Chain A
Amino acid sequence: MKRKLLSTLVCAAMVSSMLVGCGSKPTEAPAADTPVAEASATEEAAPAADAAATETATEDAATPAADGELIKVGIINNDPNESGYRTANDKDMKDTFTEENGYEASFAYSLKNDEQITAAQKFIQDGVDYLLLSAADTAGWDSVLQDAADAGTRVILFDRTIDADESLYEASIVSDMDKEGQTAVEWLKSQNLDEYNIIHIQGVMGSAAQKGRSGALTDAGFNIVTQQTAEWNAEKAQQIVQSVIDAGTPFNVIYAENDDMAKGAVAALDKANISHGVGKDVIVMGFDCNKWALKELLAQNWNYDGQCNPFQASYIDSIIQDLQAGKTLDEKVVVMDEKGFDATTITQEDVDTYGIGE
């Protein structure tokens, strides 16, 4: 009896831990138990409108929203709780695809590929005109996108690409991590320092962001004092920089591949009373443009922050408008403009516009 109870409990424990997820993306839990949350409004849409919408879609959409007909979009995204980046991304989508702008949007969130595919199938059955997709995983999308093509639903990828034939989607809007790195390195070169002794703090090795942001710096041929991965972790970054300080090795640039790690590095500098920021001993560089990080720039405690643009909605909007107008797109892959902010030129307005999070 006891043993039975025990095994039941262990089973329950395991199931619950599976439900909660694998822990590498810990913030997924809040939505993990309700895998595909959908805005129910679209479900209640009158069948007539539904049919009409499907018609416009299949008629190659020659006369689109002009007659006040809303464009139906199904948006599949990752869980907004995943990160500040994702939260900003989701908010941007919700602000753009509104009824005022001529859209009827349905949302589905999941960090799991299979749940996203299920949601996609549902949207296709509902007869959405456009399927906007930020895929959790690159694989496994071929058949569902084929279904979409058969049903006349057009697919636009945002934020992440997938391993599928290019003909299966209209466009893909992505960040160019390599370019983010290059922009940062060019900015660093333009500082014309007498010598460059760089502490390079990397993200999780092998991630797209790490590869892009490391690549540019490694190719630039600066003197790199230390090159270590802190795995996006501020504490590790602090220890790495602490170790360089303890060793007494001179350095004058900290190139951290995200804001968190830059923050950790700065904590170590503060402890050792090494001045940092505009016109100070050490140049501090970060990425991602969190609002708190941009405030550090504004206060001239940091020198540079590279943007990883979460605001894809306006790009998608213009692509949809073009497609609705019957135009053909110049290129499938659209790379977003991503800025790098310099502490000497950043304004409060930039902080408000481009800052992610609170």
Chain B
Amino acid sequence: MQTKKSNYTSISEMLGKLVKQQIFIPVAALLLLAIFNLIADPGFYKISYGVNSAGSPVLSGYLMTILDYGSELAILAVGMTLVTASSGGQDISVGAAIAIAGSVMLKFICGMNTPVIIAFLAACVVSMFFGAFNGVLVAHFKIQPMVATLILYTAGRSIAAWINNNELPIVSDPKFAYLGGFIPGIPIPTPFFIAAAVVIISLLVLRFTNLGLYTQAVGINESSSRLNGLNPAFIKFITFVILGLCVAVVGLIKVSRLSTINYSVIAKDIEMDAILAVALGGNALGGGKFNLAASIIGAYVIQFLTTTLYKFNVQSDALPAYKAVVVIFLVVISAPVVRDYISSIGKKISHKEVA
């Protein structure tokens, strides 16, 4: 009898701890969506094996679609998490910056016939430059991040169009399409591997450098971190540059998917999804502590949601509204106030049991 009681307490304590874990929210959301789809239509999880028109083996099905498109978002979520943590604000120019990066790539590949790798490096430089532009506005001129990035948000797509004289060159090399599709012989979408590489690199960087610690310190309290010898402006600046790099990687995937892009619509509203991923990951949008893994899971959850909505034939222009409802729900649940309340209820129940 005694042991049973202590079991109860330990389980409820564990639950309480679990709920308090930051990663709990995105994982719970993922499970919720997964269960919903399982009940609604188990066919959702069907994965079939076939070949694509290039003759290489591919796995296809809703889960693969999520893995494919969610990867872009996961890469952006990495950068966005850092920016959010350090500056306490979000970069809303991500979509426009992707258009610029893509345009630069097309200019190099089609206009100058350079190898893809050089085009990609050029796009990295340009995106990091625009990231630096945002970073300077935020870090040195202390403009609210959303206002600062509003400039690039409005101007970015025009700049992208201007780079290629508003032409839409098409990359003819079929190998280029591997990056946004499948590498021959490997049946898993390439974007997933690219995202995995980005995630591993960023986790390594966070583990072996002080970037993570400094970012959180700046986000939590700027002046005390300065008193401790950090340079908050530089830390903020560097997070925006890192986001710029992430943007270039996503740009590469985007261009590769269709071998071309349309400046006015490419990656439209993707910044909102990226910010949602960060929020869903339970990261404080006001800056400070962050959990990269939670954001990345958050990114896949958002794509899971999008794909689910497409599956149920929700009108695609109504999609954001449905997303908003789900997100409001999740964000409210993940709010510290609500979580404290839930765990206090949990405690009450366990107390009753003990009594």
Residues of A within 8 A of B240 (CB): none
Stretch in B57-65, B122-130, B193-201 touching the partner:
B57-65
Q: Across the interface, do B52 and A234 meet the contact criterion of CB distance under 8 Å?
A: no
A292 to B167, CA, bound (A): 12
Q: Across the interface, do A234 and B141 meet the contact criterion of CB distance under 8 Å?
A: no
Given A26-B161, A235-B254, A245-B60, 10 more A-B residue pairs with CB atoms under 8 Å apart are: A6-B142, A23-B153, A26-B99, A26-B263, A27-B166, A81-B161, A231-B268, A231-B316, A234-B265, A243-B62
A358 to B137, CA, bound (A): 38
Q: How many residues of A contact B (CB 8 A)?
A: 55
Within 8 A of B (CB), among A239-277: 239-240, 242-243, 245-248, 260, 263-264, 267, 269-273, 275
Q: Across the interface, do B147 and A205 meet the contact criterion of CB distance under 8 Å?
A: no
Binding site for B on A (CB under 8 A): 2, 5-6, 9-10, 13, 16-17, 20-23, 25-30, 32, 81, 84, 87, 205, 226, 228-236, 238-240, 242-243, 245-248, 260, 263-264, 267, 269-273, 275, 292, 357-358
Neighbour of A243 across the interface among B52, B182, B310, B315, CB < 8 A: B310
Query: Separation in Å of the A294 CB from the closest CB of chain B?
Result: 13
Q: Across the interface, do A271 and B151 meet the contact criterion of CB distance under 8 Å?
A: no
Q: Across the interface, do A28 and B158 meet the contact criterion of CB distance under 8 Å?
A: yes
Q: Across the interface, do A9 and B158 meet the contact criterion of CB distance under 8 Å?
A: no
Q: Across the interface, do A271 and B60 meet the contact criterion of CB distance under 8 Å?
A: yes
Residues of A within 8 A of B262 (CB): 232-234, 260
Q: A228 with B155: in contact, given A81-B161, A234-B265, A243-B307 (CB under 8 Å)?
A: no
Residues of B within 8 A of A358 (CB): 167, 169
Q: Across the interface, do A264 and B69 meet the contact criterion of CB distance under 8 Å?
A: no
Residues of B within 8 A of A238 (CB): 257-258
Q: Across the interface, do B316 and A236 meet the contact criterion of CB distance under 8 Å?
A: yes
Q: Across the interface, do B150 and A17 meet the contact criterion of CB distance under 8 Å?
A: yes
Query: Separation in Å of the A207 CB from the closest CB of chain B?
Result: 12
Which of B62, B170, B310 is the most central at the interface, judged by chain A CB atoms within 10 Å of its CB? B310
> Is B148 at the interface (CB under 8 A from chain A)?
yes
A-B contact count (CB 8 A): 151
Give B217-251 as 1s and 0s: 1 = Cβ < 8 Å from A's Cβ atoms.
00000000000000000000000000000000000
Query: Separation in Å of the B322 CB from the closest CB of chain A?
Result: 14
Q: Across the interface, do B161 and A30 meet the contact criterion of CB distance under 8 Å?
A: yes
Residues of A within 8 A of B65 (CB): 239, 242-243, 246
Residues of A within 8 A of B306 (CB): 239
Within 8 A of A (CB), among B49-96: 50-54, 58, 60-62, 65, 69
Residues of A within 8 A of B36 (CB): none
28 interchain pairs, CB-CB under 8 A: A5-B141, A6-B141, A9-B141, A9-B143, A10-B143, A13-B150, A17-B154, A17-B155, A20-B154, A21-B154, A23-B154, A26-B263, A27-B263, A29-B159, A30-B166, A32-B158, A231-B316, A235-B258, A238-B258, A239-B69, A243-B65, A246-B311, A248-B46, A263-B258, A270-B53, A271-B58, A273-B50, A273-B58
> Is B266 at the interface (CB under 8 A from chain A)?
yes
Chain A residue with Cβ nearest B153: A23
Q: Across the interface, do B170 and A292 meet the contact criterion of CB distance under 8 Å?
A: yes
Q: A231 with B311: in contact, given A21-B158, A27-B161, A271-B58 (CB under 8 Å)?
A: no
A358 to B157, CA, bound (A): 20
The 10 closest A-B pairs by CB, nearest first: A29-B158, A26-B157, A243-B310, A233-B265, A27-B161, A17-B154, A270-B53, A20-B155, A81-B166, A246-B62
Residues of A within 8 A of B156 (CB): 26
> Is B203 at the interface (CB under 8 A from chain A)?
no
Query: Separation in Å of the A5 CB from the closest CB of chain B?
Result: 8
> Is B145 at the interface (CB under 8 A from chain A)?
no
Q: Across the interface, do B43 and A248 meet the contact criterion of CB distance under 8 Å?
A: yes
A297 to B60, CA, bound (A): 28
Residues of A within 8 A of B342 (CB): none
